[in-house]
Amino acid sequence: MNIDWAAFTPWSALLGGALIGLAAAAMILLNGRITGISGITGGLLTPQRGDIAWRAAFVLGLVLAPTAWMLAGDLPPLQIDADYPLLVIAGLLVGVSTRYGAGCTSGHGVCGLSRLSPRSLVATLAFMGTGFATVFVMRHLLGG
Amino acid sequence: MQRVILSSFLIGVLFGIGLLVAGMANPAKVLAFLDLAGAWDPSLALVMGGAIAVGLIAFRLAGQRKVSVLGEPMRLPTRRDIDRRLVFGSLGFGVGWGLAGFCPGPALVAFGALEAKAMVFVVAMLVGMAAFELMERRSASR
């Protein structure tokens, strides 16, 4: 294994992770909800009375985070190498399968593992596994 | 209810800032983490570690509560079964994640940064989520 030490950012990773954890902590302790981005967003597509506003407010907050950031300084680099057709395929796949598997990196990976949920452990191992495998195929077998 | 809506908004902003600080909103960094056989950037393991360290404490406290601080019911998941949907859904999600380097949260943040490519991903993701709901409705009515 060849670690890219120049790209490794341990302190900002830990700090950012702790902020993500704090957000999930506030959501469960204040509102009694799991912070699962795919579940919260997906719930907006089948609106139920009295269950829309908090979801919309959360998603709006996420979308406005870069704007809040820019009040203090420049945004960090966001480098998106995938081309448009690949983004469409990836987006469709992420949309369908996070709903089918009842969670994504936040709901299973952060909240689920924090709850020591066996379902979320299986889910996290599964998506990490295919995530690693997919990048291996794309970069080292297909060379794209 | 208003306090729940306001807190949800602020939690969304905090979560998004956490993703930006962590580098997770940057697909190139996510893919560098997923590229074990290349020049591997282990940073995102520490993002998960930092989040779970805080989360472990929070969910332990949450488990002792009957209602939330703002008086809402505690909606903690109770399922423990490992079913086919969980496994295949998660496997499929990982493939999509590995193709572009976006999972749902970071994609919404990058959407908010007005990145055209992130907007395309988010629209496709919403179409995928809507397709799931349609399939569910069709199989329920059968």
CA A70 to chain centre: 21
- H or E segment to which residue B103 belongs: none
Q: Which of A117, A135, A136 to mutate to test the interface with B (most CBs of B within 10 A)?
A: A135
List, for residues A71-87, the tens digit of each pLDDT value.
999 999 999 999 999 99
Q: Where are the domains of chain B?
A: 2-141
What is the pLDDT, as a whole number, of residue B53? 98
pLDDT band with cut points at 50, 70 and 90 for residue A144: low
Across the interface, do B91 and A31 touch by the CB < 8 Å criterion?
Answer: no
Percentage above 90 pLDDT, chain A? 93
Average pLDDT over residues B55-63: 97
Mean pLDDT of B84-113: 97
Is the pLDDT at A143 greater than 90? The verdict is no
Report pLDDT digits (tens) over A92-131: 999 999 999 989 999 999 999 999 999 999 999 999 999 9
Rounded Cα–Cα distance for residues A95 and A87 (Å): 12
**How many residues belong to chain A?**
144
The minimal CB distance from A94 to the residues B5, B57, B128 is found for B128
Summarize pLDDT for B8-37 with one digit per residue, the tens: 999 999 999 999 999 999 999 999 999 999
Tokens of B70: 């703002």
Within 10 A of B138 (CB to CB), how many other CB atoms are there? 9
Q: Compute the distance between CA of residue B16 and CA of residue B24 in angstroms, rounded to an integer.
A: 10
- The number of C-beta contacts closer than 8 angstroms across A and B is 493
B32-60 mean pLDDT: 97
Instruction: Look at residue B141 in the predicted model and tell me its pLDDT.
Output: 80
| Average of per-residue pLDDT across A21-38 | 98
Which residues from A are below 8 Å from B57, CB to CB?
Answer: 25
- Complex ipTM > 0.90: yes
**What is the pLDDT averaged over residues B36-52?**
97
- In terms of pLDDT, which residue wins out, B17 or B1? B17
